[in-house]
Structure 1
């Protein structure tokens, strides 16, 4: 899913009007046509019954009309069709001679069927409202983990894409954020091991620590230490609760864009694939050695190592989760990210722009895997903004 800096408006709160969400496929030029199928069924049953012989009466089939309406219409619409079905049954059945009338038993059947259909529709709509409310809650959580970032936030041009491996899931353990501060702008990108609400909780814990530490710590190494310590404390807390996911860890990349020099980037890798530096015509992997994932510090208590590397003005840093690097095609071959990006930016140098680069990796991953993702997939691209001296960009785009 992708959203822009103004994308919050598309996620409406669950309410009575949202219960009509399922009818979007039954709309023509913005108008609901959910009433058409039950109305056609009512007319066809009445017409066929009227034009057939008395030995073959199908008017009692009209009980299907409110049943169909209950599946695709609202409560009041279903009630209207229940009344229409009862009235049509009475009128059509009264036209026949007494010996051919279906009589009171079928009339009771149609009446009871209409009442039950209306009640069933009310239960269905209530369930839909509850599901839509839970979707709204999940969207709120997702906007916290993968929150919309302002355009050119912290002097960086950025773009991101998140794809869930499960069609119904709206949030996972992938996370990223940008925090500007007096010591430069810091970027955190990561992937929590495992799935479910426990992974989301861990991602929120790390993001909370990053958002507090990144603007205030003078050194990027101190931010990294704070993340590691917070991860260990969270694991102790989960273990004390007796939960089974106390051994969870997270891979991550921590980036620092110092105020000066402006052609330098600081990188700390926690068991994650190093970022790719993409520029028009070429791609290179940053020469950084990956440390252990967050939460596994006891295996190697050595101090965090911060790599300071040169970064050209037109280079975009690309980081992805293993949903991209482990994407397989029908023959089991992995997606060759660096090779595909290198070929693409050679053909089209403009593809090195963050928004186009993130979109390209997204489409390439889906195409390579045939749309069958084995893990949650997040792509994030970021680079410095080179504005003319004395000028500051006021607009721009951010896609998430």
Structure 2
């Protein structure tokens, strides 16, 4: 991507189309429209009214200089320029209404004039900074969507739902990753978290996802897919070291799932130093078995082999929940961790339909934010998958088609309540 002449991607900013500010936060709104201009307008009206109703020894008409300054902080460049002109006009009219001996005079008029010009310049600088910030956020969002590609409804024969919450609301990018890859040997699912933050973590996540999408499709054995991921992480670390970068010791925790095409009631899994998935269903919550393997990139510390592949039975109505440590390590004001399994069990007892992927993701998302008071210390990914019904039609990729499930709504409240279910099961 060329950057000659300052015209590279980072050098360009979105141009305004009829407005000085494109998407900045609106402090005051009425029926979806910004009314921030009301603040300097009310001040512009109040200053001459107060000035004309006080004695000649107490003049505040020169406060008109603050009108443009407030507009510069809240409004666009054009609106600020309008208020700068109105401030001068108001000053001249209000000052001329008094007898000569009580007038503020040309000195304060120059103050209002200079203040208006400086306010317009300040608005220009602020708007340019906001445009650059929006441009950088757009780049970060595009980068994230490139790594975390959108998943079609029913992709790979799985109902799925996901929520991603960045700890840095401005950056919107981190090292969490997930994907579904259907293929001739069944459907594979990967969720993981690269150690560290920034673009280096994104690069590592992109490398692992690229390997997963190829190996997950072509390799018949899930253990081979796991081995390919381990090798890819080591190769990526070697590349960063060769470049002389300081992040050559990265690793990634991950969970790799395999839904065999020939067996509907089981799932194969490999856990790379990550939290094992939870299975949530009408009978409660249980944690799937795992062998406690090392994260990706660290297998050479032991035998050099990835963790073993384990098989677990999964009921048709059970949903598998995979989360990153943004959920499991969320703390409240007293420092207590979020009780994920217990909270889900309580939600299932109140409403069994909470086990549906979209409802489960929304429930965990809201519970995590509520527990930590909205203050996330780490990027948070919540991903839920469940096999679709046996009557679904197969698609070209070897998966099954179907509708998507939204994560935009919370758990429902309709349906009959059932007896209290068990807590976390082994």
- TM-score norm. by structure 2 comes to 0.85
Tell me if structure 1 keeps the 8 A contact 2:137–2:170: no
Q: CA deviation at 1:23?
A: 5.2
Residue in 1 that maps onto 2:90 = 88
Aligned CA distance change for structure 1 residues 340 and 96 (closer, same or farther; 3 Å): closer
Q: Secondary structure at the match of 2:94?
A: helix
> In structure 2, how many angstroms separate the alpha carbons of the residues matched to 1:389 and 1:193?
38
The CA distance in 2 between the partners of 1:275 and 1:149, in whole Å, is 20
Residues 197-276 of structure 1 mapped to structure 2, 5 A cutoff: 197-276=199-278
**Larger proportion of helix:** 1
Question: 1:397, CA displacement in angstroms?
Answer: 1.7
Counterpart position of 1:142: 144
2:81 to 76, 79, 82: 79
Q: Show CA shifts across 1:50-89 (max 9, x none).
A: 2333222221111111111111111111111111111121
Match of 1:32 in 2: 34
Q: Is the 8 A contact 1:145 1:204 kept in 2?
A: yes
Superposed structure 1 runs of 4+ greater than 4 Å apart: 389-393
> Which of 378, 396, 399 is residue 404 of structure 2 equivalent to?
396
1:365 maps to 2:365: no
RMSD: 2.1
1:333-348 correspondence to structure 2 within 5 Å: 333-348=336-351
Which secondary structure state, in structure 1, belongs to the residue aligned with residue 27 of structure 2?
helix
| CA–CA separation in structure 1 for the residues paired with 2:43 and 2:346 | 57
- Within 1, Cα distance between the matches of 2:393 and 2:28? 55
1:118-133 to 2 correspondence within 5 Å? Answer: 118-133=120-135
Aligned length: 388
CA distance in 1, matches of 2:376, 2:81: 43
Q: Which has the higher contact order (CA 8 A, sep 6+)?
A: 1
* Separation in structure 2 between the aligned mates of residue 394 and residue 362 of structure 1, nearest angstrom: 24
Task: Please give the alpha-carbon distance, in whole angstroms, between the structure 1 residues aligned to 2:160 and 2:22.
Answer: 36
2:290 and 2:33 mapped to 1: Cα distance? 57
Q: Deviations over 1:9-30 (max 9, x none)?
A: xxxx954258243353322112
Structure 2 match to 1:8: none
SS of the equivalent of 2:381 reads: strand
- Distance in 1, matches of 2:393 and 2:195, equals 44
Unaligned runs of 5+ in 2: 1-12, 395-399, 409-426
Equivalent position to 2:356, from 336, 353, 361: 353
Aligned-pair CA distance for 1:393: 5.1
Shift of 1:302: 4.8
Deviations 1:104-144 (A, max 9, x none): 21111111111111111111111111111111111112212
Structure 2 distance, partners of 1:387, 1:398, is 22
Tell me by how many angstroms 1:382 deviates: 0.5
- 1:9-20 equivalence runs, <5 A: 14-16=14-16, 17=19, 19-20=21-22
Distance 1:197 1:390 in 2: 39
Instruction: Give the secondary-structure state (helix, strand or coil) at the position aligned to 1:25.
Output: coil
8 Å CA contact 1:186–1:257 kept in 2: the answer is: yes
Give the Cα–Cα distance (whole angstroms) in 2 for the partners of residues 313 and 56 of structure 1. 80
Tell which deviates more after alignment, 97-106 or 35-44. 97-106
Change (3 A) 1:72 1:370: closer
Q: TM-score w.r.t. structure 1 length?
A: 0.91
Unaligned runs of 5+ in 1: 1-12
In 2, the alpha carbon distance for the partners of 1:160 and 1:358 equals 6
Q: Partner of 1:173 in structure 2?
A: 175
Residues 85-94 or 248-257, more deviating: 85-94
1:315–1:18 Cα change, 3 Å: farther
Call closer, same or farther: CA 1:142–1:18 in 2, change over 3 Å: farther
Q: How far is 1:389 from its partner?
A: 6.7
1:53 alignment partner, SS class:
coil
- Judging changes above 3 Å, is the alpha-carbon distance between structure 1 residues 389 and 102 closer, same or farther for their aligned structure 2 residues? closer
